[in-house]
Structure 1
Amino acid sequence: MSARDALSARRSRSKVTDAAPSHAEILALVQAAARVADHSALRPWRLIELRGSARDRLGRAIADAEGASEASTKPLRAPLLIAVVASRRPSQKVPHWEQDAVAAGVAHMLSLLLDEAGWGVMWRTGHYTRSEQVAELHGLTENERLLGWLYVGGMLDRGKPEKPARAVDVAAHVSVLAEQS
């Protein structure tokens, strides 16, 4: 499968089975995802796997952040959550926004690789990614920002034909800067 085919076939999977890739499988995929363009090779990112009761702890942290009495069940939607953390490094050349873009690039590359490997993946965010309670649970430092989680599990209905993706009017998003004469 070409990169174009893999990109064209990618879909967010909001519902997954209880199967999940192993830690070793994740490491192998992250090795490839880490090849994302990275100005000055700062590696301004890290990933945190949440499985089992760690997802329950996240549900309680989300509830605390929202002032709810019951733990959020959102983290239980997949057997594996991969927290995507922008871990900003001191740099005179590379601003924080660019370092955040690298972290987002690693997450997107990893989501594509997981999809290609047959796993269901959805990148989820929420206002509580900026909450003190959720940051504390993830052990974030002052220079780190949580960008969200990749929810990962077994793909449902693998043999079922997919609805075609909604077409994007790319001409509305691509322009050409005129050459000077």
Structure 2
Amino acid sequence: MKFFSDPVLEAMATRRSVSKVGPETPSDAEIAELLAAVTPVADHKALRPWRLILLRGDDRARLGAALDAAAGTEREPGELNPKPFRAELLIAVVASPKPHPKVPEWEQHATAAGAAHLLELALWQTGWGVMWRSGLLANAPEVRAVHGLAESEHLMGWLYVGSIDESFRARMRESNRPALDPQQFLGRMPR
């Protein structure tokens, strides 16, 4: 499926959320390299009101325990919350607003979301599958504490990152899924 001759526009048009990712993941160094494509995100007054937390290995078990504590879920000894184990790498996206008289907090949250989406695109373009997940418990006290969030910060969810199964890639190549009609998103100011 080819929409555009420009590779950036093509990556944007063909990006898909991958709900089931494989076990291979980019290294921390690869993610740091991809951040060069993320840091130019639209950012009024260049406040950089976001940060990322990489969760691998036992960090996922700690997140699962925090989610269970927040939900009041009790498990059998040795049983783990399976949700954080749907990927080997989770990237927590944190909105970290800075006080500024000309940049409201909501705008800084939008910048953090923009940075996360640019990272999704960068990961997608380099061959990784990504699913942005959140949930009602993302900012529960137990979950905030395990991420070490400051009072002013907001956890916007996690990017679940991993390899893409070849059969999924083949289905995407063969897909006839039409692009959304852009006209539904365009309008004019009322007179």
Q: What TM bracket, shorter-length normalisation? A: over 0.9
- Structure 2 counterparts to residues 41-56 of structure 1, below 5 A: 41-56=46-61
Give unmatched runs, 5+ long, in structure 2: 1-5
Deviation at 1:159, TM superposition (A): 4.7
Q: Which residue of 2 aligns with 1:94?
A: 103
Q: State the one-letter code of the partner of 1:125.
A: S
- For 2:143 and 2:60, the matched residues in 1 are separated by 12
* 1:168 maps to 2:191: no
Deviation per residue, 1:77-123 (Å, 9 max, x gap): 00100000000101000000000000000000000000000001010
**Aligned mates of 1:86, 1:56 — CA distance in 2:** 23
Find out whether 1:109 has 2:118 as its counterpart: yes
In structure 2, distance between residues paired with 1:29 and 1:156: 22
2:127 aligned with 1:118, yes or no? yes
Give secondary structure in 2 for the equivalent of 1:143.
coil
Residue correspondence of structure 1 range 1-181 to structure 2 within 5 A: 2-70=7-75, 71-157=80-166, 159-162=169-172, 163-165=175-177, 167-177=179-189
* 1:161 to partner: Cα distance: 3.2
Name the count of aligned residue pairs: 179
Q: Is 157-166 or 92-101 further displaced after alignment? A: 157-166
> If each structure's strand is expressed as a fraction of its own residues, which one has the higher value?
1
SS at match of 1:101: helix
Return 112-121 or 25-34, whichever deviates more: 25-34
TM superposition score normalised by structure 2: 0.89
Alpha-carbon distance change, 79 to 39 in structure 1, aligned in 2, over 3 angstroms: same
Unaligned runs of 5+ in 1: none
Q: Quick check: 136-145 or 71-80, which moved more?
A: 71-80
The RMSD of aligned alpha carbons is: 1.5
Alpha-carbon distance between aligned partners in 2 of 1:76 and 1:69, rounded to the nearest angstrom: 18
Identity %: 49
Against the structure 1 CA distance between its residues 164 and 141, is the aligned structure 2 distance closer, same or farther, given a 3 Å change threshold? farther
Task: Give TM-score, length-normalised by structure 1.
Answer: 0.94
